[in-house]
Amino acid sequence: MKIGCPKEIKPQEFRVGMTPNAAREAVANGHDVIIETKAGAGAGFEDADYIDAGARVVDTAEEVFATADMIVKVKEPQAVERKMLRENQLLFTYLHLAPDPDQTHDLLASGATCIAYETVTDRNGGLPLLAPMSEVAGKLAPQVGAWTLQKANGGRGVLMGGVPGVNPARVVVIGGGVVGTHAARVAAGMGADVTVLDMSLPRLRYLDDTMRGEFKTSYASKGNTAELVAQADMVIGAVLVPGAAAPKLISRAQLSTMKPGAALVDVAIDQGGCFETSRATTHADPIYEVDGIMHYCVANMPGAVARTSTIALGNATMPFMLALANKGWKQACADDVHLLNGLNVHAGKLTYYAVGEALGLDVVSPQLVVKQAA
């Protein structure tokens, strides 16, 4: 198979769909890899690294799209990229179609087969191609929160780990899933006094069993949350209600109960944010103040560490990318229901029910599509 990887063109996106290692594996499996020049530059990979891996570097995205049987990317294809997709071509990338009717329309019109990273599942009911980005955002949250807490940045002027004779920062993490667990571990590693709140008792049990000693756990009742938030130097918002906007867990009125200069890091901002006063910010201008409380609400946190994020995403996508290339999408999806769950669009048909529901479009069963295509 000819596997193509264009340079990402969405603003502020520095990741790349294939690392040189992914290219090397694909070549070792007998495939041709075509990379757009400088595609990996933002993540610290040079054209020479891809050439060493056996890939061919071409000058334009047009050449990549015109040559490749499968396109591997990071972000959803932008309008100009969607025009280059064609019938029988396979697209493997993040899509997030439910809130994006224009993209959905264009992908249906292209005739291409589109597999979305974010809906591929695993046997534990998880989302293996989303998890690495949650791990990155979680580990980054205390780091950016610590910077926000610095006096010069408007923060309370509290050091995460304290020093002998001075208490460490109190960090409250709301939501003990992938983001929350990684955030709590890093905050605890920095020496902070950390409490994780969650609504799920099984999740709290798991955290208590596996992380005992590193941080405390507490049930996320309204009263408990309000009490802990009022004492916190930093609150990290890491909740997710699948398929829904994030619930608002701290109201504007509650800010007046908090310590002046405390930091709110709203990782759930990509789902609308879990604090009433959250609004999405960018890496260029990440923080703002409301009622004396500092807010950090960057919606694409992994972009700050594009190299780590690219490698983490590449590790997770590689086995699926190789299965698609080695077997073709029909056989690969027939063999693996978790990859089949990633199928969103095929030959002008929508194959993902939640997207159809969100956009009021007809959906064809993905199983049926695979059977008919076989």
Q: Is 240 in the site for ligand NAD (CB under 6 A)?
A: yes
Nearest one of 302, 230, 301 to 259, comparing CA atoms: 230
Catalytic residues: 96, 270
Residue by residue, DSSP assigns 203-253 as HHHHHHHHHTTT-EEEE--HHHHHHHHHH-SEEEE----TTSPPP--B-HH
Return d(Cα 155, Cα 147) in angstroms, integer: 8
Residues forming beta bridges with residue 195, ordered by sequence position: 172, 216
Give whichever of 2 and 283 is closer to ligand NAD, judged by the CB atom.
283
Q: Is 129 in the site for ligand NAD (CB under 6 A)?
A: no
Please identify, among the stretches 10-18, 71-79, 130-138, 353-361, the one whose residues bind ligand NAD according to the rule CB under 6 A: 130-138
Looking at beta carbons only, is 155 or 302 nearer to ligand NAD? Answer: 302
The helix/strand/coil state of 10 is coil
- Rule CB under 6 A: is residue 133 a binding residue for ligand NAD? yes
Binding ligand NAD (rule: CB under 6 A), the pick from 43, 174, 192, 293 is: 174
- Residue 177 found at the interface with ligand NAD (CB under 6 A): yes
Report the C-alpha gap between 299 and 338 in whole angstroms.
27
Quote the CA–CA distance of 255 and 105 in Å, as a whole number: 42
Q: Which residue, 37 or 200, is less far from ligand NAD as judged by CB?
A: 200
Nearest distance from C-beta of residue 145 to ligand NAD, angstroms: 13
The answer to whether 203 contacts ligand NAD (rule: CB under 6 A) is: yes
Query: How are the residues of the chain apportioned to helix, strand and coil, as percentages rounded to the nearest 5?
Result: 40, 20, 40
Which is nearer to ligand NAD, 47 or 208 (by Cβ)? 208
Considering only residues 295 to 314 of the shown chain, the ones binding ligand NAD according to CB under 6 A are 299-302
Which one of residues 77, 145, 168, 175 is an interface residue with ligand NAD (CB under 6 A)? 175
Establish if 198 lies at the interface with ligand NAD (CB under 6 A).
Answer: yes
Helical segments of 83-192, H only: 101-110, 131-148, 178-189
Kindly list the strands in the beta sheet with 70-72, ordered across the sheet, starting from the edge strand earlier in the chain.
Answer: 56-58, 32-36, 2-5, 70-72, 90-93, 113-116, 343-346, 349-350
Q: Which of 54, 111, 247, 292 binds ligand NAD (CB under 6 A)?
A: 247
Residue 278, interface with ligand NAD (CB under 6 A)? no
Examine residue 268 and tell whether it contacts ligand NAD (CB under 6 A). Answer: yes
Nearest distance, CB of residue 227 and ligand NAD, angstroms: 14
Distance between CA atoms of 319 and 313, rounded to whole angstroms? 11
Which range binds ligand NAD by CB under 6 A, 24-32, 251-259, 261-269, 333-341?
261-269
78 and 9 in contact (C-beta within 8 Å)? yes
355 touches 98 (CB < 8 A): yes
Which residues of the shown chain bind ligand NAD in the complex (CB under 6 A)? 133-134, 137, 174-180, 197-200, 203, 220, 238-241, 246-247, 249, 267-271, 299-302
